[in-house]
Chain A
Amino acid sequence: MQKLMLLGDEALAQGALDAGMSGCFAYPGTPSTEIMEYVQHNKEAVERDIHRTWGSNEKTIMEAAVGMSYAGKRTMACMKHVGLNVAADPFMNSAFVGANGGLIVAVADDPSMHSSQNEQDSRFYAKFAMIPCLEPSNQQECYDMAFLAFELSEKFKLPIMIRLETRLSHSRAGVTRRDKIAENVGKLPEDKNQFMLLPSFSRRKYKNLIKLQSELVAASENSEFNSYTDGSDKSLGIIACGLGYNYVMENLANRDVNYPILKISHYPLPRKLVEKMYKECDKILVVEDGQPIVEEMLKGYISGNEKIKGRLDGTFSYDGEMDPNKVAVALGFGKEVVGTVPEDIVGRPPALCVGCPHIDSFVTLNEALKEHGDGHVFSDIGCYTLGFMPPYNGINTCLDMGASITMAKGASDAGLFPAVAVIGDSTFSHSGLTGLLDCVYDKSNVVIIILDNATTGMTGGQNYTGENKIEEMCLGLGVEKEHIRVVTPLKRCHEEMVQVYKEEIAYNGVSIVIPRRECIQTMTRRIRAQKKAAKK
């Protein structure tokens, strides 16, 4: 069969489709977005009518996936690493209720924060929840692991995490497909109480989960994705996790060195293999992309264990993406670098697109706030976070999705005036509604600016669940009609916008201002698609 050239994200999506997935649930987030986008554009997924629309946020999609699993079908919830924080409650509890139909939680981490606000390592979550985690090292494994994950999930009746990283999510390579597995017909759980978490049930479930751990370890020890390659030089053993394996092999493939190598792509750790290496080798180098979870487990807390090398003892820097150069240095193969980046080369940071509606929103807001000085604008995550950059310098905070509204409220509760929140329309749908409800409940003195550009711009222009109902949502949550103001972020409406902002700042209560104009990129794509459709 001819190989497909797929991104890691796409390979996972194709694998899940071929392994009988009935529904994909996701909220966009770099670098995980392409998993769902692949399913959405896949012809067979359309024919099979696989669930493939975006959800409101990571919590709702995680819960929906658990629901599909309850109904007996195979399903996958996809998100970026920080999305798992939002989904943490259902995620942790899903380990207790377990799975009926196979349940994959696909999480894409972003070491080095190419496009994220932090670089947490999702493997901690899998360990925390005491469920297996698969960490592919290449695109073929992304594909194959979907099959294994569904199988393990239905065998152990547990959700299975698949952990990706930016470098794999967004790198393309050839993938060979397997024979397809039909979707499950769907049936209710045999145990009627499986998905019921009352304390009395939960205590029993927790004991079961604890008991299951030894079986999960045995599965890891026998996994095709964990392998021990013995070597004659026992002065060093290498534990290479996920992508770390590639960087090790890149360095060793053409060299005459012969260290034992333990490749780990299936957790919990395969105890027997790890102990074999620990016993036989003088030193152990742990190469993992992300935080030093494996290294920490091996090293233990008590100081004095000099045997384990990695991010904790400074062999690698604690933070940042792993790469072949760092591994070369750790293995003593550091080479002279010939070229250096000339001094005159400057950075080219991302900026708001020419013509972006957010530009007008910031220029006018700055003018309206001039008399109040700096420090009043709480913002959020999206293209508009670039409003922090000069020449706008328009926002003061960015914490997590949805925090603009609630931080503005807290600051207002502390007496700050004015307290302004700037939030995107997709972010508002994601996690702004409950915060707004808090504001209405307390009649907080805040101005909430919801930037309606009709898209999730930052992640490439996806649809979002609250489209075309921003005003209705605000009204429904109890905001007064007179204080929901819609404006058009265009130069010719400059004066009007400044005036509206000023009026709403002056109002002592909850105000909503909605600057409404479509994202330039989304508009271009929409028009192109319409033209194409018209041609047909």
Chain B
Amino acid sequence: MKINIILAGVGGQGILTIAKVFGQVAVKQNLFLKQAEVHGMSQRGGDVQSNLRISDKEIFSDLIPEGEADLIISVEPMESLRYLPLLAPDGWLITNAKPFVNIPNYPEIETVYNEVRKVKNHVIIDAQGIAKEIGNVLASNIVMLGAAAEKTCFSMEQLEVALHEIFISKGEKVVDLNVKALRAGNEAKSL
């Protein structure tokens, strides 16, 4: 097996937590993993991305080559489009609907959605709204993870176990919230 995932968003939206959950599952299964992250300027609202590669064979490049990403998971709609050259022809683009507007020239949101819809395989979900309903908008990233789960080679059970392991140090409540977010994202319908 081999999966290449681009995680995208804006600094502070928690994309590295998504990566961590996948990482936890991969390590348990003794798979190879490489995860290139952006560090440095992320706290100031710039775009951030992570290249996550998981495989049962040795992985060489830390960067996903053009046209070889199986999945783009984005916590922000415009950010999801920045990495289209990396997406495989039959790859999936899965994005949150809610824009993060911290620049004066953010495009019309409908234009952004239209571009997303041009991608053959796409999912747009209101992760923010779903997370709010569950009780904490900060769980939007895990909602996105849930929305993408089907398209990975990992089961919901494996992801739930990983969430438990990662969040248990913060208490059962935090674990429950995240598991709920994962499930809700998994059940969400594309807009």
Residues of A within 8 A of B (CB): 2-3, 5, 7, 30-31, 33-34, 114-115, 167-168, 170-174, 243, 245-247, 249-250, 253, 323-325, 328, 335-342, 344-353, 383, 386, 459-460, 521
Contact = CB atoms under 8 A, between A and B. Distances in A.
B52 to A, nearest CB: 9
Given A247-B60, A344-B115, A352-B44, A171 B85 contact: no
B39 A341 contact: no
28 contacts: A2-B27, A3-B27, A114-B38, A115-B41, A167-B36, A167-B62, A167-B63, A168-B62, A170-B38, A170-B39, A171-B35, A173-B33, A174-B27, A335-B66, A335-B67, A338-B85, A338-B87, A339-B86, A340-B84, A344-B107, A344-B108, A345-B81, A346-B107, A350-B46, A351-B45, A351-B102, A353-B45, A386-B44
Interface in B32-76: 32-41, 43-47, 51, 59-63, 65-67
Contacts of A170: 36-39
A338 B43 CA distance: 32
B119 interface: yes
B82 interface: yes
B45 to A, nearest CB: 6
B18 to A, nearest CB: 14
B106 interface: yes
A278 to B, nearest CB: 25
A346 B115 contact: no
Nearest to A247: B61
A250 B64 CA distance: 10
Interface of B: 10-11, 23, 27, 32-41, 43-47, 51, 59-63, 65-67, 78-79, 81-82, 84-89, 102-103, 105-108, 111-112, 115, 119
A353 B43 contact: yes
A167 B122 CA distance: 29
Contacts, number: 141
B61 A172 contact: no
A344 B111 contact: yes
B10 to A, nearest CB: 7
A459 B44 CA distance: 12
A460 B42 CA distance: 9
Contacts of B106: 346
B103 A344 contact: no
Contacts of A347: 47, 103
Contacts of A351: 44-46, 102
Nearest to B69: A339
A7 B108 CA distance: 38
Nearest to B37: A170
Given A328-B65, A350-B41, A350-B44, A341 B34 contact: no
Contact of A7 (B37, B44, B60, B81): B37
A3 B34 CA distance: 13
